[in-house]
Chains A and B, each alone.
Chain A
Amino acid sequence: MSYNKIKLSVGLFVITIFIIVATLLILLLDKKGTFNKRYSYYFTADTANSFNVGMPLKFSGFNIGEIDKISLKNNGAVDMIFSVDEENIKWVSQGSILMIKKPLIGSSHIELYTALGNPPLAENSTLTLYMSDDINDMISKFEPVLEKFTSIITNIDLLTNSLSQKDSDFYYTMKNIRTITTKIANDGSILTSITGDKKSTKKLINSLDLMKDVMIEIHIIAKEVNKITASLNGDIIQPSSNTIKELELIMKDVKQKLQVLEGTVNAVGSYDKDLVELKDQISLGVAKSNQIMDKVDSIMQSESSSKVLLP
C-alpha cells in the first residue's frame, strides 16, 4: 500500500470517528433536553437566603425546572427567575403558587402547587412564593409543649418545698396522725372502743404481760446456751476454728497460685504452638532456599553430570 493511500485511510478513519463521537454527543444532549425551549417565570422573595442558582423546582416530587437567575432589586427585595421546559409547562397554570421547603434532613427546594385543569400561565408571569421552614415549624409546634413541661416542673418544685417546711399543711397532717396512733396504743378506752368490750381488752393486756414474762425466760435460756458454747470455744472449738481458718487461708493461697499457674500453663501451651508454627515456617524457608541453591548450583557449575564422582 502506498504512503498516500495510508494517509487517506488514516484521515478517513479519524473523520469517521469524529463524526460518530459528535453524533453520540448531540444525541445524548438532546435526550437530556439541552436543546429544548425553556419558559421563564418570576417570583419575588424578601431574602436570597436558602436560594441559589440551579435550585430545583419540584412538582409532586419530580424535578420540572430550576432557578436560572437571582438578582437584588432597588427596594431590597430579591427577584428570581426560574424556567421549565416545554414538556413541563402544563404544570405551571393560573393560580399556581410556589413554596420553599427547608426539610430537617436534605437540601432545600421549591415546591410548585397547582390547580389542575386551569389554563397554563403565560410566559414571564410572576408567581407568589410562600415560605415553609420545617425546622422553625417544628420549633414553634414544640414551644407550647415546652411551656407545659416547665409549668409541671415548677409545680413539683413547689410541692417538694411545701413538704419540707415545718409549718406546712402536710407537716401538720402527719403530726396529727402520729398523735392519734400513740393514743390508740396507750389508752385502754380507745382499745376498748376497738375490741368491743372491757373484758376483751383486759384479756388482751394479760396476754401481753404473759408474753413479756415468756420473753424474759427465753432470754435467760439463751444466756445459758451462750455460756455453754463459750466454754466449748476455749477448749475445743477455738483451736479447731483457728485451724480451719488457717486451712482456709492456705486453700485460698493455693487456689490463687493454681490460677496463676493455669495462666502460665496456658501461655506456655500457646508458645509451644507458636514455636511449632515458627519451626515449620523456618523449615519452609530453608527448603525454598535449598531449591534456589540447587538452581544456582546448576547454573554456576560448569560440569553437568548425573553421576556422583568420587573425590
Chain B
Amino acid sequence: MIKFFVFSIMFILSGCSFKSPPNHFQYKTTNAFVSYKKNFLSNNAILAKNDLKRAIQYAKTSSNLTDLAHIYLGECALNISVGIKDECEKYITIQNLVDNPTLNSYYSLITNQLLDEHIANLPPKYKEFALYKLNNQLDLAYNETLNMQNISSKLIASSLIKESLNEHQIEEILKISSFYGYKKSVLFWLVHLEHNTHDKHKRENIRRKIVILKSKN
C-alpha cells in the first residue's frame, strides 16, 4: 500500500515535471510516420492512412519542408516495396524547395535512376547495397539486404532487385515478412513467388494461400 502510494506520488510529480519540447510537433511527426510504416506493411489501411495524414499535417506546421520530403519519399519507397507503382510525384513537387542531397540520392535509388555520384549521399544502410546493385552484383546486393537491421529497409531493397531474385531468395524474404506480420508485403512476395515458380502444384498452393489471406472470413 505504501509502495503504491509512493509510486503514485512519484508518478504525478514526474508527470508534472516533464515539459514538452518546443519542437514537439517533430516528435509527433516521427511517431506518426513510424506508426504509418508499421500499419501500412501490416495492411491496416485505415490506420495507415490516418497515420500518414497526421504525419503530413504535423510536418506542415514548420516552414522547413525536410520532414515533409522525408515522409513523401518514405511513402513512395514503401509503396514500391509492396509492388505499388509510384513515381514519387509528391516528392518531386517539393524537391526544389528542399534540395537535400541525401533525399535526392534516395529518390534515385528507389526509382532505379542511381548513379555513382549518388552513393556517397545515400543513407549509410543503403550504401553497400547500392554499390552492388550499380555494379550489377545482385547476389551480393541480396546478401546485403539480409544484413540490414531495419526490416522496412530490407523489404525496400529486396523489391528493388526482385527481378533477379531466385525462388529460394524470394521465400527467404517472404519468411521475414511473415515473421513480422507484414501482410501487405507477404501478399506481394507471394504473388511474385507464384510468377517465379515452375512447379505447378506449388503454384497452386501459393494461389490458394493468396485467396485465403485476401478473404475476410
Tell which of A290, A307, A311 touches B30, judged by Cβ atoms closer than 8 Å: A307
B73-87 vs A, CB cutoff 8 Å, 1 = contact: the mask equals 110011001000000
Chain A residue contacts of B67, Cβ below 8 A: 307-308
Tell which of B32, B33, B74, B102 touches A294, judged by Cβ atoms closer than 8 Å: B32
Return 27 A-B CB contacts under 8 Å, by A number.
Answer: A290-B54, A293-B50, A294-B28, A294-B31, A294-B54, A297-B34, A298-B27, A298-B28, A301-B31, A301-B35, A303-B34, A305-B30, A306-B30, A307-B30, A308-B26, A308-B33, A308-B67, A308-B70, A309-B30, A309-B70, A310-B70, A310-B123, A311-B37, A311-B74, A311-B77, A311-B150, A311-B152
B25-46 vs A, CB cutoff 8 Å, 1 = contact: the mask equals 0111111111101000000000
A308 in contact with B74 given A297-B34, A297-B35, A298-B27 (CB within 8 Å)? yes
- The smallest beta-carbon distance between A247 and chain B, in angstroms, is 60
Asked if B27 contacts A293 (CB within 8 A), the reply is no
Residue of A nearest to B32 (CB): A297
B45-88 vs A, CB cutoff 8 Å, 1 = contact: the mask equals 00000100011000100000001001101100110010000000
Give the docked Cα–Cα distance between A309 and B71 (Å). Answer: 9
Interface flag for A304 (CB, 8 Å): yes
A278-311 vs B, CB cutoff 8 Å, 1 = contact: the mask equals 0000000000001001100110010111111111
Chain B residue contacts of A309, Cβ below 8 A: 30, 70
- The smallest beta-carbon distance between A38 and chain B, in angstroms, is 60
Give the docked Cα–Cα distance between A130 and B81 (Å). Answer: 110
Asked if B54 contacts A308 (CB within 8 A), the reply is no
Chain A residue contacts of B50, Cβ below 8 A: 290, 293
Asked if A293 contacts B54 (CB within 8 A), the reply is yes
Residue of B nearest to A290 (CB): B54
A310 in contact with B73 given A293-B54, A294-B32, A301-B34 (CB within 8 Å)? yes
Interface flag for B142 (CB, 8 Å): no
Give the number of residue pairs across the A-B interface with Cβ within 8 Å.
61
Tell which of B26, B27, B35, B77 touches A310, judged by Cβ atoms closer than 8 Å: B77
Asked if A308 contacts B71 (CB within 8 A), the reply is yes
Chain B residue contacts of A307, Cβ below 8 A: 26, 30, 67
Tell which of B23, B37, B55 touches A306, judged by Cβ atoms closer than 8 Å: B23
